[in-house]
Amino acid sequence: MDQTEANILICCVKANIMNALKQSVAVPAAVLNPSRRTWLLAALACSLPVAWAMPSPLTVDVWKSPACGCCKDWVATLTRAGFRVQLHETGNADKRRQLGIPDSLGSCHTAQVGGYALEGHVPVTEIQRLLREKPAAIGLAVPGMPVGSPGMDGPAYGGRHMPFDVLLVQGGGKVQVYRSYGVKP
C-alpha cells in the first residue's frame, strides 16, 4: 500500500463514520472527536503495512581493484539509484571468468545482481531494464572504459563523450547490442 492508497483508506474510514452518523448508529465519542494522538496513531497504523510491503533494495556485488577511481564513481551511480552495493576489492578478472563474461568484453570492474553479470560501466537504466525484462542471458557488458559512460563522466574527463554499446551477453559467447549510446551534444 502506497501513500495514495493510505490516504484513500483514511477517506473511506471517515466516510463510513459519516454514514453511520447519518443513520443514527452509535459511534464512540473518541471516533467523533479524535485527538491529535489518535490521528497520529491511525496514520502510523496505516503506514506500517506500507513499510513492510516495500521491497528491500537489491544488492549489487562489485569486484574491482582497490585503486580504481572510476569504479568508485560507477558504484556511486548505483547507490544514488537505490541499489545496495557490496564491494570486493580483490580485482575482477577471476570473477569475470567465473560469471561467464568473455575476456574480450572485459573492463575494470565486474558485478552481479539478480543472477546477472555486469561488466564495466553499464548505465543504471540498462541494469533496471535487464532486471525488469529478465532475458535469458548471462548479463550486460560495456567493454573497455568509454569516456562519458557512468563512472567515466566526471570533471576529470572535461565533458568528453564517446559512443558506446551496452551488450547483452548470452551463452556460447554470443552478444547482441542491448542499447547504443551516441555522443552527447
pLDDT of residue 37: 66
Give the pLDDT confidence of 52-78 residue by residue, as tens digits: 455 678 999 999 998 888 999 999 999
Write down the domain spans for the chain.
3-53, 59-181
Q: Is pLDDT at 2 greater than 90 in this prediction? A: no
**Coarse DSSP helix, strand, coil percentages of the chain, rounded to the nearest 5 percent:** 45, 20, 35
Give the count of beta carbons closer than 10 Å to the beta carbon of residue 59: 13
pLDDT in tens, 37-54: 665 555 555 555 544 455
Quick one: CA dihedral 77, 83, 86, 91, positive or negative? negative
Task: Output the nine-digit C-alpha cell for 45.
Answer: 497504523
Burial of 145 (0-12, 13-18, 19+ CB in 10 A): middle
Look at the alpha carbons of 127, 128, 131, 133 in this order and tell me if their dihedral is positive or negative: negative
CATH superfamily of 59-181: Glutaredoxin (3.40.30.10)
Q: What is the DSSP letter of 54?
A: S
pLDDT digits (tens, 9 = 90+) for 100-130: 999 999 999 999 999 999 999 999 999 999 9
- 151-174 residue pLDDT tens: 999 898 998 999 999 999 999 889
